Amino acid sequence: MVLGPIHIAIDGYSSTGKSTLAKALAKELGYLYIDSGAMYRAVTWYLIQHHIAIDQIEEVLDDIRVDFDQLQRICLNGEVVEKEIRQMEVSEKVSEVAKVAAVRKKLVEQQQGFNQSVVMDGRDIGTVVFPSAQLKLFMTASPEVRVQRRYKELQQQLSSITLEQVRANLQMRDYEDEHREVDPLKMASDAVVLDNSNLSQEEQLQWVLRLLQEKLNITV
């Protein structure tokens, strides 16, 4: 029997399907879903829009309000920016923004404040945001599967995008995620690995639901 809010942390590299699984799991369990990457992306979109250099972020941090609306869409200062934050321009800059300690501090505090059962995906959820999460997953998939997934997703917005551009962006973000000084991506020692290279979305969901039952006796 688990008392109090349940925290489920899903970490891993870019384009390993974390958000898709986290969203489906939250829906199944009736928990809140938080895409922490969207929060870093929203801050990045603010900087792009206002032509603010990375070394000036701290001066404007108090002017940036990132949250989620009733439909759990990401909002920047009250405006839904779901589409804007997925642009390549944002993907290219977000790693630099996510390196800044003051940005991480602001967003981590906000993430820790969601005082209810939540499924949260990101890079540092099991290690920094919720080190005591009742369930921690670390998702991986083969590099080529990840490139293809991201390519398909991006092609819907930008038909001129090439596989090479997508591959280069993923490699760059993997490197930056693992090597930044503050809260780098690393697997929590008590995380369970899920390699979903050859699993459908439904298979992944069922796998986690089984794990929840085994580990925490939670059933839906």
Give the interface with ligand DC as residue ranges (CB under 6 A): 14, 36-37, 40-41, 94-95, 98, 122-125, 173, 177
Q: Can you point out the beta strands (E) in the chain? A: 7-12, 32-35, 66-68, 74-76, 79-80, 118-122, 135-140, 192-195
Structure tokens at 176: 């930056």
Residue 125 or 137 having the CB closest to ligand DC: 125
d(C-alpha 205, C-alpha 195), whole Å: 13
CB 105 within 8 A of CB 111: no
Residue 119 or 218 having the CB closest to ligand DC: 119
Q: How far apart are CB 12 and ligand DC at their closest, in Å? A: 9
Q: How far apart are CB 5 and ligand DC at their closest, in Å? A: 19
Q: How far apart are CB 143 and ligand DC at their closest, in Å? A: 15
Q: How far apart are CB 142 and ligand DC at their closest, in Å? A: 17
d(C-alpha 149, C-alpha 154), whole Å: 9
Residue 52 or 182 having the CB closest to ligand DC: 182
Residue 109 or 213 having the CB closest to ligand DC: 109
d(C-alpha 151, C-alpha 94), whole Å: 18
